[in-house]
């Protein structure tokens, strides 16, 4: 007797007597998931031609020695410490960058490839999570397709420094899948609900170690309990909240570490330059702008500045508040008949809370990258609402797929156009200047790009424009001062560096370079005073001790110069320049008490060169 393994398709007779094959649900999911993966990958594949940019990429990758060294034990330990490089705590993100450097070194295409693959994986997992919750395969597919190709997602995917967006979202979506499995196992009394719950907690912790923005996940789980899991009918609200307690505790711990790190790094802006009223106004306007850019993704920029010097006008704030209030009221009114709308709407509002600007981190008014996952709430509300409104229309099976295809096609075109702007720092920040007003950050970053590409006077013009817009831009003033000094415009360089020091008295780079300019001008007494100030900020800096020694020698204080050279050598034994200056100072001074003999200096100097 032959035993045939059941095949996974069924044969169905059609009206004309022929046969057609019907795919099972799982096979259709695999097929559609594959299509979504390829769609996301193909849409963003032009990014492989892009390079690193000079905005955050150096801190995260190109100038970060821990990351550039690849996967090392020292780097692994460092990644778990709160650090100042990014003003964030995200060890898994650091590890992903280290792994990229291990595999691809500093070839940007490899780093872009990883981010694109993560985005494609997010698209598939989003589709599977929605389908698992709702059993609405085509609506889930269309929401995931919009997620795959929407232009607002370009920043998260093609900006290498924003690896944390795509990585944390992957873990958050996987957490949702594990949570859904937990709920279904609990309801059906089958499987291992405790194992699924534990897996969800583990994946959530991985998400928190990728980017702290996922702290809103307990809130998201409660929304999903309302719809589509319909758990509010089975358990009371307090019971559902208690169930989320481990998630809430993990989120609180990650939030505390992140706040501590950002505060120590100076990333959190005080209330003085941005009063609370301005922050609330910006919150309303930003929510509205995210909505507008969802439906009309035009004039996208890497940096959106606060309006300066006047904050948002009431003609912008009032309409924004009215639209948000109207949509919130509508969501509440239809909560029983169309619960998906209130869930999608509050998913959008709630997941943006950590980055909406009440606690202001950074100088941006808003950012495209912040909408990476929150936008899904708008997609869900819109797709399910359209499906309900057209449920009785017999023609929907014809024109809805056409409309969906047209929407995805237009998004792909817009996304690819936006990806092209990220080719390099020059194209990116010139575009930002074109599509925004008074973008001092874009001018400053463009200045850095021009300075690095042998266009110093164009860079000077860009920095001057940044300062004209925002006079207190520390970075622009510092870079302009250094650039002017390099081109022998020393007096004006001093003016800008002094301005930086007035804004940031502990800015060591400005203090040190000001001392070097005084040396270059022959003002040795001013140079000595400046290097003494620097050493109060960083007493173990061998370079500063050596510079002070040079200034003291120029002043004729040879004994003090010898002492400073010896201190520099003590701090950094393999420092040939300090040995050279020590030998020079002793030669000028002659034999002095406590100083090393010239023969010993020569021996140590020769040894240091080896």
Quickly state the pLDDT bin for 266 (edges 50, 70, 90). Answer: low
More confidently predicted of 301 and 272: 301
Please tell me the least confidently modeled range out of 103-112, 296-305, 377-386, 396-405. Answer: 396-405
Give per-residue pLDDT as tens, 485-540: 999 899 999 999 999 999 999 999 999 999 999 999 989 999 999 999 999 999 99
Mention every residue, 6+ apart, whose C-beta is less than 8 A from residue 207: 168, 169, 171, 172, 175, 214, 217
Quickly state the pLDDT bin for 6 (edges 50, 70, 90). Answer: very low
Q: What does the pLDDT read at residue 84? A: 58
Domain ranges of the chain: 25-421, 505-609
Looking at CATH, the fold of the domain delimited by 505-609 is given as 1.25.40
C-alpha to C-alpha distance for 129 and 127, rounded to whole angstroms: 6
| Bridge partners, 11 (sequence order) | 21
C-alpha to C-alpha distance for 265 and 261, rounded to whole angstroms: 6
Mention every residue, 6+ apart, whose C-beta is less than 8 A from residue 95: 71, 76, 79
Give per-residue pLDDT as tens, 95-104: 999 999 999 9
Judge whether residue 308 has pLDDT over 70.
Answer: no
Q: What does the pLDDT read at residue 237? A: 92
Quickly state the pLDDT bin for 392 (edges 50, 70, 90). Answer: confident
Quickly state the pLDDT bin for 114 (edges 50, 70, 90). Answer: very high
Q: What does the pLDDT read at residue 5? A: 40
C-alpha to C-alpha distance for 478 and 500, rounded to whole angstroms: 6
* Mean of pLDDT over the chain: 89
Task: Please give the helix or strand (H or E) that residue 9 lies within, else none.
Answer: strand 9-13
**Cβ-defined contacts of 534-537 (< 8 Å, 24+):** 534/508, 537/506, 537/508, 537/511
Judge whether residue 3 has pLDDT over 90.
Answer: no
The highest-confidence range among 74-83, 202-211, 302-311, by mean pLDDT, is 202-211
Q: What does the pLDDT read at residue 147? A: 98
Q: What does the pLDDT read at residue 260? A: 75
Judge whether residue 362 has pLDDT over 50.
Answer: yes
Torsional sign, CA 362, 367, 369, 370: positive
More confidently predicted of 114 and 307: 114
C-alpha to C-alpha distance for 509 and 91, rounded to whole angstroms: 28
Judge whether residue 20 has pLDDT over 70.
Answer: no
Judge whether residue 591 has pLDDT over 80.
Answer: no
Q: What does the pLDDT read at residue 273? A: 67
Judge whether residue 343 has pLDDT over 50.
Answer: yes
Give per-residue pLDDT as tens, 275-293: 788 889 999 999 999 999 9
pTM for this predicted structure: 0.89
Give per-residue pLDDT as tens, 57-87: 999 999 999 999 999 999 999 998 876 556 6
């Amino acid at each position: 007797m032959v035993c045939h393994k059941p095949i996974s398709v069924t044969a169905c007779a059609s009206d004309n007597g022929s046969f057609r094959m019907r795919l099972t649900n799982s096979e259709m999911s695999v097929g559609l998931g594959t299509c979504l993966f390829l769609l996301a990958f193909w849409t963003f594949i032009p990014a492989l031609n892009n390079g690193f940019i000079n905005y955050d990429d150096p801190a995260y990758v190109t100038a970060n020695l821990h990351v550039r060294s690849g996967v090392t034990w020292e780097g692994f330990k460092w990644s778990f410490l709160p650090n100042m490089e990014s003003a964030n705590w995200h060890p898994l993100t650091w590890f992903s960058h280290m792994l990229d450097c291990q595999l691809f070194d500093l070839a940007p295409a490899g780093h872009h490839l990883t981010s694109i693959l993560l985005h494609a994986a997010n698209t598939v997992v989003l589709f599977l999570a929605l389908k698992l919750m709702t059993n609405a395969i085509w609506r889930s597919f269309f929401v995931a397709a919009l997620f795959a190709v929407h232009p607002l997602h370009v920043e998260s995917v093609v900006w290498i420094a924003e690896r944390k967006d795509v990585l944390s979202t992957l873990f958050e979506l996987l957490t949702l899948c594990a949570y859904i499995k937990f709920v279904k196992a609990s309801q059906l009394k089958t499987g291992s609900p405790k194992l699924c719950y534990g897996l969800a907690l583990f994946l959530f912790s991985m998400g928190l170690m990728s980017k702290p923005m996922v702290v809103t996940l307990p809130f998201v789980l409660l929304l999903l309990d309302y719809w589509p899991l319909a758990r509010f009918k089975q358990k009371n609200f307090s019971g559902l909240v208690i169930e989320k307690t481990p998630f809430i505790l993990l989120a609180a711990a990650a939030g505390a570490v992140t706040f501590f790190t950002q505060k120590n790094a100076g990333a959190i802006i005080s209330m003085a330059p941005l009063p609370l009223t301005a922050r609330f106004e910006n919150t309303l306007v930003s929510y509205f702008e995210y909505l507008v850019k969802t439906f009309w993704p035009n004039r996208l920029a890497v940096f959106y500045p606060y309006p300066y010097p006047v904050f948002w006008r009431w003609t912008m704030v009032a309409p924004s508040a009215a639209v948000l209030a109207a949509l919130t009221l509508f969501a509440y009114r239809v909560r029983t008949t169309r619960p998906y709308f209130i869930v999608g709407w509050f998913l959008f509002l709630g997941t943006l809370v950590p980055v909406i600007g009440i606690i202001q981190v950074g100088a941006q008014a808003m950012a495209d990258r912040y909408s990476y996952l929150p936008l899904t709430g708008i997609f869900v509300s819109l797709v399910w609402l359209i499906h309900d409104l057209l449920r009785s229309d017999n023609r929907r099976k014809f024109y809805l797929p056409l409309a969906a295809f047209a929407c995805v096609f237009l998004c792909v075109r817009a996304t690819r156009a936006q990806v092209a702007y990220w080719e390099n720092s020059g194209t990116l920040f010139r575009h930002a200047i074109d599509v925004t007003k008074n973008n001092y950050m874009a001018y400053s970053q463009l200045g850095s790009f021009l300075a690095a590409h042998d266009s110093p006077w164009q860079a000077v013009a860009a920095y001057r424009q940044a300062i004209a817009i925002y006079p207190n831009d520390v970075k622009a003033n510092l870079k302009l001062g250094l650039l002017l000094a390099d081109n022998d415009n020393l007096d004006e360089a001093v003016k800008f560096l002094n301005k930086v020091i007035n804004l940031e008295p502990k800015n060591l780079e400005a203090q040190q370079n000001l001392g070097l300019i005084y040396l270059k001008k022959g003002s040795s007494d001013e140079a000595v005073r400046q290097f003494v100030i620097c050493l109060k900020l960083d007493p173990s800096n061998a370079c500063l001790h050596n510079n002070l020694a040079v200034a003291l020698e120029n002043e004729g204080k040879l004994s003090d110069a010898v002492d400073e050279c010896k201190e520099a050598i003590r701090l950094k034994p393999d420092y040939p320049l300090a040995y050279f200056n020590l030998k020079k100072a002793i030669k000028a001074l002659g034999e002095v008490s406590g100083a090393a003999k010239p023969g010993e200096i020569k021996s140590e100097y020769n040894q240091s060169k080896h």
